[in-house]
Amino acid sequence: MRSAETTREQLLKLAVEMFAEKGFADTSLRAIAKRAEVSPALLIHHFGTKDALVKEAISITLGSWVAGEKAAMLDDQSNQLQNWQNIMEKGATPLNFFRQVLLAGGEYSQRLFDAAVSESEVLLDQMQSVGRLRDISDKQTTALIMTISGLGSVLLMSQIEKSMGGPISSDHVATRLMNSNNEMLRDGIFKPTSRTNEKAGK
């Protein structure tokens, strides 16, 4: 017999899949219950309201996604491309879910954004603790920019793939994106102007 926790996890997973497919407005508790072949009362028993279900779905899905990204970024650099592709290949549902959250706007998108910024700050701290991060003057704003880049790519995924000429998880596209991302984050792409050098006392 399935435990209550297992049932709850399965219902949450199904809800995320349906929210990712149809968005929040077109996905009711009754519709989720129907696909799960359970009564709406069971969903209410586990989550209370649709709003509470959505908020938990955001928290759990983001937590799982970030955990995978952290593991990949802290892994040996020789595994970087494979890790990137693994994340992208498994990421269709969570990425579509995040896209629906952002499109919904309001409290849901703000909750996702705030949590993503916080997780980015934690990642920067972890990267610094293992010697994989340069000294940065404003960690909070750096985390903000990382979040904007990450969530922006979620909204523009289809445009990115069209521009790059293939799925984001393909060898060709993943390698180009990873290399350019590393070039910007690790090496920088701009040379300082003479005026900048003067201000810096150089």
Residue range(s) defining the domain that contains residue 141: 50-186
Question: Has residue 40 been placed in a domain?
Answer: no
Cα 96 from chain centre: 10
User: Is position 195 within any domain?
Assistant: no
Q: Is-contact 75 125, C-beta < 8 A?
A: no
Tell me if 66 is assigned to some domain: yes
Is residue 97 within 8 A of residue 20, CB to CB? The reply is yes
What CATH number is associated with residue 76? 1.10.357.10
Q: Give the number of domains in the chain.
A: 1
Q: Tens-of-pLDDT digits for all 202 residues of the chain? A: 356 668 999 999 999 999 999 999 999 999 999 999 999 999 999 999 999 999 999 999 999 888 888 777 777 777 877 777 777 777 789 989 999 999 999 999 999 999 999 999 998 998 889 888 888 899 999 999 999 999 999 999 899 999 999 988 788 888 888 888 888 877 888 888 876 555 555 5
pTM for this one? 0.83
